[in-house]
Amino acid sequence: MGSEESYFPVAISAAVSFFTMMVSYYFYGVAQKPKVYTSNEKLEKFLRSHVTSVNQKFYPNAFIWEGRLQSIFGLKLRLPNSHKLPYSREILRMKDGGEIGLDFLEPENVDQNTLVVFILPGLTSSSQTCYVKTLVLSITSKGAIAAVLNNRGLGGVPVKTPRMYSASNYEDVQEVIWYLKKKYPDNPKIAIGTSMGGMVLCKYLTNQPEEAKNTFLTALVISACWDALSGIKSLEKPIINKYIINGGMTRNLQHLARKYRKVLEVRECFDFNKILGSATLREFDSNFTAPQFGFKTVQDYYLDATILNVVSKFSIPVFGFNAEDDPMSPGDSLPKAQALELGSKLALVTTVRGGHLGYLEGWLPTRRNEHYMERFAAEFVGAVMNYGQELLI
């Protein structure tokens, strides 16, 4: 009995010490204020003055604050699939005969002064993907119009031609932008790109600077992979990155390729045995994405998709929003130095935690309609609506 009596106080003391250590680490190492990288005083002042979240600590979910867990559960702890938003859809035919879907959610009392927010979702996301829905609800709560892109084959949009989409090709996006300008000729407009959608948006902004300047007041890019080569290398690290995150993304893309195989396989550049046998995203892109867009190697494709070294071509203010622990865009690959260059039009906001499109908050891992990402986006949209003239540079 004596040995048992002496054991329990030691165990309790150790447990209390461990708990105290973890709580201290959370509050001093995990929960921190975002950092802002920019040489542009106007952009930093705009953020500091009108986007409250930038000046406050981000408290990640206490149970799943690590970046990979944030990335995985970010697709679980938002609106469920059964909760559909009541969009109105328009199908747009592209110049090659392909189709994309454009979903609109408008507030009441829309007029020519109502802000239009063009949203470009991630790799296999659509307007009904959980994080897209919560972003849309946050944006429309401010009184803005949300126009969400559904890429070829996504969100119920059929594939009509033997061509899909990629992280480096912005042709479909440009055609959609032309349409939005016709539909809302006098309305102010901004664009928000998430993950791959942010990469494509940046490709458009840097390749069509004058058109972009005549169309958008500003752009917000969330969880974009600024350096595609660094991103893919990070996704190939064992075990969670490679087998859970990378593997899951690869399977989602293979599902799309399999679903539209009859339309796609007429092209000689495809070997569907290799496509469906791809074990990683790099293998899939090598067998599917790169050849259909004319790249000789997957390395060439990733180099073309990289936007890290072309941010100097931005003609409008661009705000980046990334987490340092994003497994798809790690902190050492973010354009911090580029944002600090003289004359930069980029303001990069980084958080220590948040993962990829995660930014989950709360003490318990439960579903919520708003987390840190949604709140930041809503504050940003509200700031543009009320103080957008401060961004004129």
Question: Is residue 254 scored above 60 in pLDDT?
Answer: yes
Query: Is the per-residue pLDDT at 360 higher than 80?
Result: yes
Residue 342's region, left for phi above 0, alpha for psi from -120 to 50, else beta, is beta
Residue 7: predicted pLDDT = 60
Question: Tell me: the pLDDT tens digits for 21-44?
Answer: 778 888 888 999 999 999 999 999
Distance (Å, rounded) from C-alpha 99 to C-alpha 96?
9
Lowest mean pLDDT among 252-256, 301-305, 375-379, 388-392: 388-392
| DSSP code for 157 | P
Residue 145 carries which DSSP code? E
Query: Does 8 reside within a domain?
Result: no
Residue 233's pLDDT band (boundaries 50, 70, 90)? very high
Of 247, 210, 250, 203, whose CA–CA distance to 226 is shortest? 203
Rounded to whole angstroms, what are the CA distances from 75 to 6, 134, 242, 295, 325? Answer: 46, 11, 18, 32, 17
Note whether residue 13 is domain-resident: no
Both 220 and 235 in a single domain?
no
Q: Which amino acid is at 74?
A: G
Co-location of 140 and 285 in the same domain = no
Instruction: For residues 137 and 211, state if they share a domain.
Output: yes
Cα–Cα distances in angstroms (integers) from residue 147 to residues 124, 150, 172, 265, in the given order: 17, 10, 15, 32
For residues 337-346, give the mean pLDDT.
97
Q: State yes or no: pLDDT of 221 exceeds 60.
A: yes
Is cis: bond before 316, omega within 30 of 0?
Answer: no
**Residues 290 and 312 grouped into a single domain:** no
Query: Which sequence positions are flagged as catalytic?
Result: 195, 326, 356
Tokens matching residue 320: 């980046």
Please state, in angstroms and rounded to a whole number, the distance separating the CA atoms of residues 209 and 203: 10
Model pTM score? 0.95
Is residue 278 in a domain?
yes
Which residues make Cβ contacts (< 8 Å) with residue 138, sequence separation at least 6? Answer: 370, 374, 375, 377, 378, 381
Residues in the chain: 393
Judging by DSSP bridges, how do beta strands 346-351 and 35-37 pair with one another? antiparallel
In this structure, the answer to whether residues 276 and 375 fall within a common structural domain is no
Range of the domain at 251: 228-305
271, 146: one domain: no
pLDDT in the model for residue 365: 87
Domain count, the chain: 2
Residue where a domain stops, chosen among 277, 305, 333: 305
pLDDT digits (tens, 9 = 90+) for 174-214: 999 999 999 999 999 999 999 999 999 999 999 999 999 99
Report the distance separating Cα 320 and Cα 349, nearest Å: 6
Containing 150, the helix (H) or strand (E) segment is strand 145-150
Look at residues 170, 175, 185, 197 and name the one whose alpha carbon lies nearest to residue 90. 175
List the structure tokens of 197.
Answer: 């959608």
Residues 236 and 216 in one domain: no
With a CB cutoff of 8 Å and minimum separation 6, the contacts of 68 are 240, 241, 244, 245, 325, 327, 355
Residue 9 maps to a domain: no
65 and 156 in a single domain? The answer is yes
What is the number of other CB atoms lying within 10 angstroms of the CB of residue 27?
Answer: 12
